[in-house]
Amino acid sequence: MGTDIASGRRVNSKEVFVSLIKSSLFALLFLSTGACTAVSQTSPLTSRTSSRSPGPTEIRITTGVFKPEARVIGVFQITEVGYRWMHEVELRPEIEPRSILYRVAAYAREQGAQGVQQLYLLDTNPQTRGERVAKQVDTTVRLLDQLQRGRAPTALAEGTETRYEVQGELVRFN
């Protein structure tokens, strides 16, 4: 047992612990939403009009069509599914857009292609930063309620499914 300095009432250690957790989580939530950082989601794509021939290990990638024209040797479609723990931390970092492009290039190389055109990368479950923060606040409130009631903190397992669809044409240059 202790005494609350502000109110002068007696409090037990569980109340102190829950209060400390609440303060820490809200501070963390405030700090995570207050910072703004610009990041590049993917590596730069290849210029569609590059005139030099690609090297033996180089894979060119564009969302358009290559000029001069390339011969299509195949098509592909990939669906990647992951899970963002606490609506923020991707548990499968290999399905982030920047990682997917490297895997697409590796797949194209394995198939004997020199490039990928008409690349289409779609997040089929997009969320704005505001939507993610709202879900994080909901999860935090549930977590604090569970801790305050002495229940298992099952809210720690909450998150959001991530799903990306990738399509493209495999090409060889003449």
Q: What is the pLDDT of residue 33?
A: 47
Whether residues 147 and 92 share a domain: the answer is yes
Structural domain count, the chain: 2
Average pLDDT, integer, range 159-163: 89
Domain at 73, CATH number: 3.30.110.70
Whether residues 55 and 7 share a domain: the answer is no
Q: What are phi and psi of 51, to 5 degrees?
A: -95, -25
Q: What are phi and psi of 101, to 5 degrees?
A: -60, -40
- Which of 5-19, 80-94, 155-169 is predicted most confidently? 155-169
Whether residues 34 and 45 share a domain: the answer is no
Whether residues 21 and 99 share a domain: the answer is no
Q: Of 16-20, 24-28, 116-120, 140-144, where does mean pLDDT reach its minimum?
A: 24-28
Q: What is the pLDDT of residue 17?
A: 58
Whether residues 34 and 53 share a domain: the answer is no
The Cα–Cα gap between 162 and 91 comes to 10
Take residue 18 and report the two structure tokens written for it.
């829950």
Give the domain range for residue 144.
41-173
Q: How do residues 68-103 score in pLDDT, each as one tens digit?
A: 778 999 999 999 888 888 888 888 877 777 788 888
Average pLDDT, integer, range 26-31: 50
Q: What is the pLDDT of residue 100?
A: 86
Whether residues 118 and 164 share a domain: the answer is yes
Q: What is the pLDDT of residue 70?
A: 86
Whether residues 66 and 117 share a domain: the answer is yes
Whether residues 109 and 128 share a domain: the answer is yes
What proportion of the chain, given as a percentage, has pLDDT over 90? 25
pTM over 0.75: no
The Cα–Cα gap between 35 and 40 comes to 16
